[in-house]
Structure 1
């Protein structure tokens, strides 16, 4: 029976690490599948949906595969598998940390860039049909009116801004007066009081924070996996040295006290 070359405690820690890594990969795959099912009804409105889903599937499958490879290499003490795992961890840690740092650096600029892009669409009542349709959908779902205020629609406030009695009782609405293009008299409408941009920005920053946290967490886990796999490969290359470290050095062996040596010495 071959002697174990890797410390048993280290092997168990590494196995637990890879189980956790595999769970993360499986969660990414399941969340991607759920996103695909949920967004399938509005495929034509989601730009880049296919490429995004493919990227998430690849990340989940690669994470799961690497975790299985690392666990197999540790349990079987397969040096080739551990070396492949180490190379993947080095590449993965560099990529994940780089992306996470780039996202963290660009995060403060997102609000200004998005605001400038949305202001270029104003006024909304004179925008393209596609922009107006998307604005109506956002206003209906988020219960808001206009990107920055209801004045974004100028004199043509759409029905998606209107409140019902229940929403009015909840304090979500305000009553405004305006004059449309086709009527000379003032009109009053009860519309949502909050604009859409703060809510859009809140959800966008939340998504950015989640993505940044995922990449930085995966990067730190990759660094940890790199350290653990490096130690195990080192133990497999220097098996005899590792065995000597497990033995008790001679200086710690029990020796008789000095006074007993003097007492039993010849001539005393």
Structure 2
């Protein structure tokens, strides 16, 4: 059956660039992307003993999973919360067998629902919130397989359990976005190895900012960095002091400034 589907739908499969596993909610969803939008393929729910007779079961990558087809037009996968990781890993592996590794399998995860898949050909988008002080979550982050691409990490007023080491998986993300309200958060942009960095803070050490930008400009560090955005919401900071220190050149207002197109990560 799988071979028949592959052969009959080969052209259609080529138009699918990405399948997304949205794991940030209590009831995750699976979406398939087209060039212009995302379509919900499947949603999930806690299994209900009252509706047990309404479920049908399928063997998905050697895992028996309960499904229910509802009026909204797509199936609901039903499971006990303790089985969440196993269920979605099985679905991922089934899609991998069906679509192959020519499309992207993107898992979006938050530290409140920290389920890190141990599956091949996957990329991760992680969000860490203020509540992320659990040592267990940090251990899960560092245990992410080397074969998994960490596509993007966002931190929002984050308080990690310990200072991040320079070799942390955090700094290996292709893109990071950090928002913090003080200088005590133990995140050091100087260890970043990715392509894009966005940083916003209520207060900041100007000397560190100047050092970072000058190291980047010199070519001695951050060779992969393509785009950097830093916003410091502090009225006491004089912008010209920073601009002069990093050697920003004056551009005549009557001339067209050089453009920089942000590559897509």
- TM-score per shorter chain, which class? under 0.3
TM-score normalised by length of structure 1: 0.20
Larger radius of gyration: 1
Q: Which structure dedicates a bigger proportion of its chain to helix? A: 1
Q: Which structure dedicates a bigger proportion of its chain to strand? A: 2
